[in-house]
Structure 1
């Protein structure tokens, strides 16, 4: 497996990462190593921008917004550039998928074909390119005959955007920040996660080929200090951040210094409620368990990590979930038959294992998993899929975001009890309901305090908004909601008697 990672580094000619600032590639003295989580090998070295390079990138974006052509460009011309960018990404889809797997170890079959693949990246750019000539304001009727005043609104670009994305889905996260920013006429400074830079660096190369004016798009890489410098920079008008709630709270606390606009998509502890009348309990159980055991191994903020199951079907649900893990295959992430990703870092692996120990200590019953595979996988960050039952809502494994392959099964007896348990969380990102009773599905879905609820299934599309409430964040990404988030509403008042 180690040789396969090395082979992919050679195959795609991975070079040390640099910064893209003001229309040119830039290097810095400070660097860090990017590590592959499947083997803990060094993949390459990456530029650590720090405060100095962030200052340069924000200055370039500021100049491009304040005096450059991009915010003032006609919709037709701006749309042509985004369509060209979309086409270049389409041409590079396979390469981008492999680079994403080289970033974070997501199995290549998912990286090429799932909702985190470059297919979705293309779809997101397509969606926002279509908005460019449709971003309109409103006109209002005269309110009184006392004055001949006429009111109309315009949507102006918000300004310089500082965008910070996580490691788990860099292709999609790049598109969700960059596409609406460019569509609305903003300029942007993007920061990739220090854990996953390669796919974003390749996307930056593609952007560089598409005739954007210098400074409209900039890319910086680095660790927490780089992210802090970007999110607090006085030259940034808006921060769009996807990541942990703890970091999001710090960004929000400091944004008040110059009233930065914020879009924060943070953590989750999503609950899915399974009623005994669900059409197929096996499908429900295996679908829920697979989100923790396959794909990114539970390392997705919207993953349902609390299965609230009616007491009458708990045993059957658990049996089906246990059968599901027989299909799990760890190993070479570039093997099309591998199903599951490693944990992103050794530090996060230790954290997940500590939560598994805590769950047992608190009295939850460990049904399966809770350990790590050995032998040829020992060098990587692998954890076997884990399920606890007899979980109470006050346990830490039912309250804290673990971000790993751990599912907690919590029994309930009544609909009201299920809703209470589901809402007993500081998070509110997503949720789900499995039932054949449409009235119940609607009633329970509306009662759950989350940004998105899936009925008998869950998926997101570029034209639908998603985001969280409570500690899961502020704002929405997707569809018109994002256009609103990247623009400022301006009212123009015309006195026709003047």
Structure 2
């Protein structure tokens, strides 16, 4: 059993002041393999005080100093990325090869995006060429509380910690208590890279404890949160008394609109994308809308693709999907699969219970429902598991209306050979991101949503600006 009960505060590993012990469970076996401490108010106060004390000096650090530090963090991170992948695999159940390649190593692109953005960013400039006495200054907002999820733990940590430091903020990170060990390794990486004491701090805790304490803390200037919409609402309410900035990246229920002229492999790719990371992605294309003339063929293809998936433990080498993260998530998915059956959706693959031969571990059968309607729970709720819901549409306008008929607005997907149609739909769907014909977003593109999917953006220059205040100064003396 690994003992991981310490926190990283003010440049050193310290014992919890008011912590309670919590086991970390291996989702593949349902057995504990590590023990962490969940912090209390005294621990939260200590971490915030360290960040507050470090802020005046770090605020005045130069862009060159920040660039050098982030490059150093990147270099140490990439040297230890395979180690990071193995840690994430153990705590969230992701297959080892997938965890190293997708969970750990792909953060390199986020480092690149932030380094490019910081290098080009002008923190101090005239309003316009014809207004030399009007000065625009960008300054760090202050102490940033960073609350991250378990599903893509390191991507989300990098997307918050690096722009916070790059902007001149100091930070307190609270990772998910479901995936704490990768964050602790990240703290080791930052320490090795030479982050000044107090500029970065990390403590474990749950949402009702440390999460709520950070959100309401008078000495925290902003909260950047990624997680469920319900938790985002609670954080917004908690931050209201101190009128702190709250940046939210929340849930999603992405529609994948497949037209009759889409590529032959559009359905297969859509199923695979939905089931990646065991379906535990906020931007998963979990609603597949198919033009009616291609619908029956698409249902057959989705069934074949789902039934070809292998489900297994993290150490298996063949391509497969692992378990979901915990018992609560497993039960939620099972309840929603049951709801889909009860509401009359046609179950074409998977269903209730664990896959054959897997009696222990939080394994879910890759599941496909057909003939869904927009009012069904499986079409409206973020399931966060390997469950795909399909329905036909007849016209472009109908596809857009169904896609927009959701509380969420994170990512939508369009598959068509018609460029004019693709552009039209991309403009009409209400989501922060749209992906056309499997073309992934480039390094530095913003990530974030609309409606109840949140109100912030991460990545590149947009992620940097989240941590900055804009100041307007008139009467600036000529130099």
TM-score of the alignment, normalized to the shorter chain, above 0.5? yes
Residue 232 of structure 2 is aligned with which of 235, 241, 248?
248
Q: Report which stretch shifted further, 73-82 or 53-62.
A: 73-82
Which of residues 308, 312, 321 in structure 2 aligns to 1:331? Answer: 312
Rounded to whole Å, the distance in 1 between the matches of 2:74 and 2:130 is 45
Cα 1:63–1:368, aligned 2, differ >3 Å: closer, same or farther?
Answer: same
- For the aligned residue pairs, the C-alpha RMSD in angstroms reads 1.7
What CA distance in whole angstroms lies between the structure 2 residues aligned with 1:241 and 1:49?
18
**C-alpha distance 310-186 of structure 1, shift in aligned 2 (>3 A):** same
Partner of 1:453, secondary structure, is: strand
Indicate how the Cα distance of structure 1 residues 378 and 338 shifts in structure 2: closer, same or farther if over 3 A, else same.
farther
Deviation of the 1:358 alpha carbon: 0.8
| TM superposition shift of 1:108 | 1.2
CA shift, 1:122, in A, is 2.6
Give the conservation status (yes or no) of the 8 Å contact 1:17–1:201: no
Match of 2:9 among 21, 41, 46: 21
Partners of 1:126 and 1:444 lie apart in 2 by 31
**Mean Cα deviation higher: 201-210 or 327-336:** 327-336
Paired residues, what number? 474
Q: Provide the C-alpha distance between the structure 1 equivalents of 2:442 and 2:38, rounded to a whole number of angstroms.
A: 33
Cα distance change, pair 342–458 in 1 and its aligned pair in 2 (3 A): farther
Q: Is the 8 A contact 1:346 1:381 kept in 2?
A: yes
Instruction: Find the aligned partners of 2:358 and 2:40 in 1 and give their Cα distance.
Output: 35
Residue in structure 1 matching 2:49, options 53, 59, 62: 59
Counterpart CA distance in 2 for 1:273 and 1:492 is 48
The equivalent residue for 1:126 is: 112
Q: Deviations over 1:55-98 (max 9, x none)?
A: 110011011113xx211112222221211111111110111110
**1:96 matched residue in structure 2:** 84
Residues 119-268 of structure 1: pairs in structure 2 closer than 5 A = 119-136=105-122, 137-141=124-128, 150-224=133-207, 225-268=209-252
List alignment gaps of at least 5 residues for structure 1.
Answer: 1-8
Structure 1 stretch displaced more, 366-375 or 93-102: 366-375
Q: Deviations over 1:230-268 (max 9, x none)?
A: 122111111110000000011112222122112100000
User: Normalization by structure 1: what TM-score?
Assistant: 0.92
**Corresponding position: 1:446 with 2:397:** no
For 1:174 and 1:126, locate their aligned partners in 2 and report how far apart those are by CA, in whole Å. Answer: 15
Q: 1:461 to 1:101 in 2, by over 3 A?
A: farther
Contact 1:104 / 1:167 at 8 angstroms: preserved in 2? yes
Q: CA deviation at 1:326?
A: 3.7
Whole-angstrom CA distance in 2 between matches of 1:143 and 1:461: 35
Aligned counterpart, 1:425:
406
| Residues 1:394 and 2:375 aligned together | yes
TM-score w.r.t. the length of structure 2 is: 0.95
SS at match of 1:388: strand
Higher mean C-alpha displacement, 227-236 vs 263-272? 227-236
Secondary structure of 1:341's aligned partner: coil
> Is the contact made by 2:114 and 2:461 (CA closer than 8 Å) also made in structure 1?
no
1:32 maps to what in 2? 22
Q: Distance in 2 between matches of 1:162 and 1:408?
A: 36
Unaligned runs of 5+ residues in structure 2 are none
Q: How far off is 1:26 after superposition?
A: 1.2
CA contact (8 A) 2:251 2:452 kept: yes
